[in-house]
Structure formats: structure tokens, C-alpha cells
Structure 1
């Protein structure tokens, strides 16, 4: 059997865990909002029309910050449409996803939904078709206590206390030709800097996210970040990163090593940001907001007829059904985000319900967990305290897309009385015995050992078979004199929790 050795050093701290690393994303796209979180006629719906069964799954998933309302949607969004009496709200065309937007879910309703799920709002402003004035108006409506026109309008609309939104996105993917009102890096950097300066004049403690590249494959990647940050560096706190992955051409070996590409993305953006900071002689360090990341079979979407000449309310779009292999890759991407948490301070799994999502629903019917639900929910629940970057000794294998990749990847977390180790086995054929030296943590017992694995790496949970795939007990996990031994099945994600 192939073997691996992992050493966990209590002093190899990456960063204390900020719960914002377990964020997600709700966009007015497809059935994410309508028929997803909101379905007034559903048996579990509350007085606002929100599905109670979805709320319970979101709480189990363990999300923290929720980015809203887009995404591409925000670049044509008029926030005023989404407040006030529902019967008076205008119906608009959404050019981003070629759909009809009814605005039945808006700012105040969504904020109430966030309270149901114990989540924080991460709000995006429209810098595509709008700009500084609209952003300041939205800030006044959401955050000012009372005594101004827009804050009093919020109170009149039924929300007496301010929403107190602390983290804001300055537009979305403004480098992309698909984006309504997309711009050059120079033009975007200028409007983002002016908007940021104005917003912080209203509230100096806001945390602002400037748009980075919409993907590392963009031809302007790197240069976009440099130019934008040269304009905005002293006004913003984060730069965004977006990355999606999928298996291509049946190359499972490369797909399982996708996190190597995410690591390259992070290192490149960090180097670029630090270069600009040094050039400006600033002591400040820009953090990364990986506010869109997931598995997305975008190639198949582009070839489909999901977007056509017809205009519909909440059409079925981007409803990928995920396999075990997809879930293993997602778990590995989350490991990578944790290993870079000293600079990746916030992240949003895109998206939350129905649209490339861990949670699926059927109108009038059930809500269920996709395979990708499990590694995210368990990591969010078990990861506490500080993140430790382990030393891993294991063989590598060759991939066509990413070169050589280690067969095993892992990260650990430790708190006062508990620790956890999260691992992936990228081998498509071999189980791997892993010996983990955790003596320095003071581990006394295994409290949980779970794995996501199936003899069929492409097994999925579907409407017809909603529990085909789930977590299993990681058999054979043993802790002896501070050494944890586990056997990882091929194409698997696993987690082991330890009492200290």
C-alpha cells in the first residue's frame, strides 16, 4: 500500500480562523432566490415566503458571510426596486442572465433571511450601469440609524434598526466583456477609488473589496490587479478572486489536482498586491476575498440552450448535479483556502441553492444535499481556533494540466480542547495509509472520523435518489501515542476530529 507521513507542528500557524472563510453567495440568478430560498406557497414557508427546510440546511452547511445580490446581476441592478411594498415594486429585465426579475425579494427581506441562517451580509454595489451616488444612497439606506430621507424610508418600510453592513464589494468582474458596463482596468480603478473614498467618508470603518480578475485565464490577469490597485490601494481592504473548476476530456487525474491552480492564483495575486504596496511605500497589506469559487461545468452551460431569446421568471439555469469526484475537489479547494488564510481572509462558495450549489430544491417538494455539501459542512463545523500547515511526505503523480501533484493534501486546525485534520487522496486507484504525528497537539482520543468516498467516483445525489451519496465512517482510524493512522480510499475527502 502507498504510504504518506504528515507532521503537525503546533507552531506552524497560518492564521486564526476568521469565519468569513466559510462564506457563500446568493445571486438573483436562475432558481437560487425564487424557488430556492424563497417559495411562499411551500409547506415550510414563513411569513416572508422563505422555505424553512432550506434555512435548516443552510444552518447545517455552516455558512457565515453571504455575498448578495450578485454576481453579474448586480451590474444592472437598481437597488431602489427591491425595497418598499412588494406590490409596488417594478418588474425588470435582467440582462446578465436574460431573465425577468420581479424584485419580490429585496434588501430588507434578504436581511431578515440572513438572521434566520445566522449569516452576515456582504453587499455588492452596481458600478456597471451606476456609480458613486447610488452606492452612497444604498449605504445610507442600509446603515444610517435614522433622521435622513433614506434611513427614514427604511424605517417606514418596516426595518427600524439599520442593517449595519460592514463588508462591501465595489462591483463585480468588471474586466469581463459579459459584464454590463465592463471597463478597462484604468477606468475601473478610477471609479472604484472614487466610490471607495466616498463610502469611507460616510463610514471610515467599512471593509471594501475591489474587483480583481474574473479568472486567472483572463488575458489581463496580473496586469489588471496591478493597475486597479495602483488607483485604489489606500482606499480598499481586499481584492477579489474568482475561480471555477471542472473535469475536462475525462482527465480525472488533472481535475483532482485543481487546487494547484488555485494556489498559483493566490500566490500571483498576493505577489502583485505586495508589489503595488511596496511601490507606494505603504505598510498596509491587501487581503484576498475569494468571493466566487466552486465546481462549475461552464463548458456544458455554454453549449446548452439555457439562455435563449425568451424571457422567463426564475428559469432553470446552471443546475449542475455534482459527483463524488466533484466533492473531493471542492474539499481540496477549501483546504487550499485554509492553508492561505493569512492572506485569503474571506471566501464565498458560489452559489448556495440550486445554481451550482450544495443545496437543491424542487418547487413544492423536497430540499436535499448535493455531494459537495458534505466537505464544506464538516470543515465549517470542525475547523476552530488556528490553522496549522502540516509537512506532508508522499509520492507525486503526473498530471497533464498541472504537472506533478502530491497524492495527498491536508490541513489541520487546533483549538484549546480539540483539533481536526482534513485530507484528500487524489489517487484514482490506490488507498493510501497516512501516518500523522500529532503528539505535539496533545491528542488523547478520536472523536469523529468521516470520509466521502464511493466505489463509483461519479455517483451523485439526484431528485430521484437524494441520499445516494453521503458521509461514511472512516474505518480503521487509530490514535496511538500521539500518532494518528488512517487509510484514505482512492478519490476521497476525509476529516478526523481529535480531543486534546
Structure 2
């Protein structure tokens, strides 16, 4: 049986837990907005058309900040189309996803929904087809109290008080040739710099995210970040990262180790940021917004909800099904390890948004006129958002190895942990990557004494199922959390046996040693 030994020390910490690490993403894509969070006429809809069943799941998920309205969509979006009387709003062709945007849901609706969901708004501006003037106008519309053209228009549209949006994205994936308004790094860096300056002249207290590479495999990765930050370092607070992963060709072992790639990706971007900081003799610190990440099966599928099929169609449809992946046990364990990676880098990754929130590669699914339910990947996110409190701990892990074709030998156990001094509680988040074997884990605490196991839960293959078991509309509780058996304290050392292919969370009461 594989074994792993984990040691944590009260005084060896990474950072305070960044609450914005548990963000999500709502794009005008597929059924994320329409029949996702917004469906007038649904039995669960309130008077504004917000689905209360979906809202309840969003609150349970524990999302803290939501990026909106894109995504590729924002690079061709006129924000003015989504304000004012709904009956006067234009229908537009969205070239990003080859769909018709009705604009029945826009900025006012999203801000109202975000307040109801108790999440912070992270607003993206269009730097694909638009630029400096439109961005500064949007900040004035959203954040200025009144007495000017754009702020008074907001008031006439029904919002007397400013929206007070603090967090803004300067475009989306503009390094990508697929993007409407694709730019070189120099073109984008100068545009981001000047847009940031103009937006801050309207509201000096906003936080700004520059566009980083669309993924680590981009041929311009690294040089893009360096060039953009050379132009805009003093004007921005964060640079973005995007990454999607999937299982290829049945290679589950490599898939379960993809957090190794995420760790390396983050480390590489941190190095580039710090190189620009040193070369430019900057005093401020730019950090990372990992504002798109998830499992997304982009290759090997030929179904009607795939973007390449939709874009090849001559038919323009309003909110068709797009990339509605069904997530299984294996996917959930991988998502747990991605959350570990983000938490381990909490000193530099200060914002992260799982993409997306509902229906589109999402932890929550819903059907038009029907139910909403949790996907398997809902559970690691929900528990970590709930229980990761206080300080991120720097763990020392000695683990047996498991072979992978992509990454060589990797630790069979992947983990992260937090300690909340105010409550005395340690939360250990731990994955067993082995597909066949249980793994014995011991946790030693230094500077803290463990007095009680508060809770222990595990997500693993359900009885009678396999690693591809998943929740569906008709079997919504197939995959979930259950009690983790065989957990105990032995002279202050936590010992647990993790099932094969599992993600677990164990909470301990502690006191200073």
C-alpha cells in the first residue's frame, strides 16, 4: 500500500487565504446566462427572472467573485446594448460563439443578481473591437455618483446608487488568433496601459487585470507577459492566466497529475513578473489573476454542443447548448488538485475564477423549465471555499510515487492545508492519485497539538460505480461527499487511509503546542 507523510508547522505559512481565490465566471455563452442563472417564467424564477434554485446552489458553492461578461464574448460586445429598457435593446450577432445575443440580460441585471448571490463583480471591458473611450465611459456609468452624462444615464435606467465595481479585466485572450480584435503583445500592452490610465482618471481606486497568455502552450507564452508588463506594469495590479485540462486517450494517470503542469505554469508567470519588476526598478508588486481554469474536454469529442460544430453551422441561434461537459469522479479529483495548486500559490495568485458557473463546463447544471443540480466538481470547490480559512500552510510531503506517461513519477498524494488561528482549526485537503490502491497518510503537526477530528469527508468512486460515474438530471446524487472512515489521532499524529482515486478534507481542532 502506498504511503505519504505530511508535516506542517504553525509558523511556516504562505499567505492569508485569498478569498477571491474561490471565484467563478459567467459569460454570455451557451446556456450560462439564459436558462442558467436567468430564466423568466421558470417555476423557480423570482420577479426579476433569477432562478432561485440556481442561486441557492451558487451560495452553497461559496463563489466569492464572478467575472463577467466574457470570455471571448466580451471582445465583440457593446456594453451599452445591455442597459436601458429591455424592449429597446438590440439583438446582435455574437461572432465569438456564432449565436444571437438578445441582450435581455445586461449590466444592471448582473449587478442585481450578484448582490442577491452575495458575490463581488469582476467586470471585463472590450479591448477587441473597442478601446479607451468605451472603457472609461463604462467606469463612469458604473461607479460615478451622478451629475455627468454616463452616471445620470445609469440613474435614469433605474440605479440611483453607483454599482461600485472594484475589479476590472482589460480585455480577454487578445494573444489568441481566434479572438475578435487579436493583437500583438506591443499593440495590446500599449492599449492596456492607456486604457488603465483613462479608467483610473475616472475612478482611481479600481483594480485592473492585464491579459496574459491564453495558455502555456501559446508560442508567445512568456514573451507576451514580459512585453505587456514592460508597457503596463505601473498601471495594472494583476496579469491573467488561463488553463484548461482534459484526459487524453484514456491516460488517467497523467490527467490526475496535471496539477504538476499548473504549478509550473504559475511559477513561470511569477518569474516573468518579477523579472520585469527588477528590470524596471518597480516598487509595487503585480500578482496573478488565474481567471479561467477548469477541466474542459476540447479534443476527441464530436457532439452538437462543441463550438467548432456550432460555428460551422449556417444557423444563428440564441443561447444554444455549448460545451455542457458532464463531470465524473476522475474530473472531481483533478479539480481538487487544481484548487490545491492555487492555494499553495496564494501569496501570488490572489484571484482565481473557475470557468464557468452554470451549464457551460460548470459545477452547476440546469435544464430549461426543469431542475438544477450539482456536478461532481462542485464538491471540492464548495468544501475548500467553506473550510480554507486563516493562513495557507507550507507543507512538507514525503510520498510514494506513481508513474505517468506525461510527467514521469509524481507523488501519489497531493495536498494543501490552512490554519485558522481564531478558531484553532486546521483543514487538510488531500487527493490520492492512485487508480488502484488505497494510500496511508500521516499528518504531523509542529507548533500545534491536534485535540480532535472535527470532520472527515471523501469523494471517491461510489459503490457499484466506476471512475466515470457522474451526476445527471435523473441521478443527481450519484457522486458526492461521504464520511471518510478509519481516521484517527495517534499521539497527536493524524492517520488516515485514503481510498483509491479520491479527494478528501479533514478538519482538526488544535491548540498551540
TM-score past 0.5 threshold:
yes
Q: For 1:26 and 1:490, how far apart are their aligned partners in 2?
A: 34
Q: For 1:121 and 1:97, how far apart are their aligned partners in 2?
A: 23
**1:446 maps to which residue?**
453
Partner SS for 1:29 = coil
**1:470 maps to which residue?**
480
Q: For 2:314 and 2:338, how far apart are their aligned partners in 1?
A: 36
Shift of 1:438: 2.4
**Match status 1:281 vs 2:281:** yes
Shift of 1:296: 0.2
**Match status 1:421 vs 2:423:** no
CA contact (8 A) 2:174 2:211 kept: yes
Q: For 1:244 and 1:347, how far apart are their aligned partners in 2?
A: 13
Regions of 4+ moved over 6 Å: none
**2:470 maps to which residue?**
460
Shift of 1:203: 2.0
Q: For 1:56 and 1:147, how far apart are their aligned partners in 2?
A: 38
> Cα RMSD between the aligned structures?
1.1
Q: For 2:247 and 2:107, how far apart are their aligned partners in 1?
A: 36
Shift of 1:205: 1.8
**1:51 maps to which residue?**
51
**1:110 maps to which residue?**
110
**Match status 1:171 vs 2:171:** yes
**Match status 1:349 vs 2:354:** yes
Partner SS for 2:67 = strand
298-307 or 405-414, which deviates more: 298-307
Structure 2 residue corresponding to 1:487, chosen from 481, 487, 497: 497
**2:191 maps to which residue?**
191
Shift of 1:481: 2.9
Counterparts of 1:203-282 in structure 2 under 5 Å? 203-282=203-282
**2:310 maps to which residue?**
306
Shift of 1:368: 0.2
Partner SS for 1:442 = strand
**1:155 maps to which residue?**
155
Partner SS for 1:404 = strand
**2:438 maps to which residue?**
431
Task: Rate the CA distance shift 1:300–1:319 in 2: closer, same or farther, 3 A.
Answer: farther
Q: Deviations over 1:266-294 (max 9, x none)?
A: 01111011111111011222100000000
**2:331 maps to which residue?**
326
Gaps (5+ residues) in structure 2? none
Partner SS for 1:114 = helix
What is the TM-score of this pair, normalised by structure 1? Answer: 0.98
Partner SS for 2:4 = strand
**2:321 maps to which residue?**
316
Partner SS for 1:470 = coil
Shift of 1:463: 1.7
Shift of 1:363: 0.7
CA contact (8 A) 1:89 1:103 kept: yes
**1:94 maps to which residue?**
94
Shift of 1:443: 2.4
Q: Deviations over 1:20-73 (max 9, x none)?
A: 000000000000000000000111111110100000000000000100000000
How many residue pairs get aligned? The number is 500
**1:408 maps to which residue?**
413
Task: Rate the CA distance shift 1:119–1:112 in 2: closer, same or farther, 3 A.
Answer: same
Gaps (5+ residues) in structure 1? none
Q: For 2:260 and 2:446, how far apart are their aligned partners in 1?
A: 29
Shift of 1:439: 5.1
Q: For 2:140 and 2:241, how far apart are their aligned partners in 1?
A: 28
Partner SS for 1:147 = coil
Shift of 1:301: 5.3
CA contact (8 A) 2:140 2:150 kept: yes
CA contact (8 A) 1:439 1:482 kept: no
Q: For 1:299 and 1:446, how far apart are their aligned partners in 2?
A: 43
Q: Deviations over 1:308-332 (max 9, x none)?
A: 2210010000000001000000000
What is the TM-score of this pair, normalised by structure 2? Answer: 0.96
Shift of 1:18: 1.8
CA contact (8 A) 2:11 2:447 kept: no
